[in-house]
Amino acid sequence: MSRITDIIIRTSNSKATLLIRLMVGVVFLSEGLQKFLFPAIRGAGRFESIGLPSPELLGYLVATFEVVAGFFVIAGLLTRIASIPLIIIMLVAISTTKTEILVQEGFWEMMHASRTDWSMLLGSIFLLIKGGGWLSFDRYYTSKGK
């Protein structure tokens, strides 16, 4: 295995990581599918209502990243790479939707409204740091190379 490949897919045998992968992956996969199924309220329509540019394009782009990366995270396949677009999505989501709540309704209302966003952001950061863990394709390929 090359040094870069080793850094990207090497992971521990931690069984707890599977729980984080399932939490993050299932939520993103589900949200991405809903953006395709209900674009007026979850995808382009939502993006237009919060003032994002090119809401049609952005809606489908974000939905695609959420579905593909969510699937990769669930499978534990290239987990670190899959977590990067998810981190970006959550940073944009927090900054575009929760800042207004903070300004208009205060800190505690913003914290309440953003609890899932923070969970997905921190879960994705965890996966970027730790990789796929136990029962992942990442683990399978690293153990196979030994």
Extents of the domains making up the chain: 3-144
User: What's the maximum distance between 2 C-alpha atoms anywhere in the chain?
Assistant: 56
Would you list the DSSP string of 5-17? HHHHH-----SHH
What pLDDT, on a 0 to 100 scale, did the predictor assign at position 6? 78
Estimate to the nearest angstrom the gap between the alpha carbon of 26 and the chain centroid. Answer: 9
Q: How far apart are CA 146 and CA 141, in angstroms?
A: 9
Q: Which two tokens stand for residue 28?
A: 């993103």
Quick check: pTM over 0.75? Answer: yes
Residuewise pLDDT in 10s, the chain (146 residues)? 677 777 888 898 899 999 999 999 999 999 999 999 999 999 999 999 999 999 999 999 999 999 999 999 999 999 999 999 999 999 999 999 999 999 999 999 999 999 999 999 999 999 999 999 999 999 998 877 55
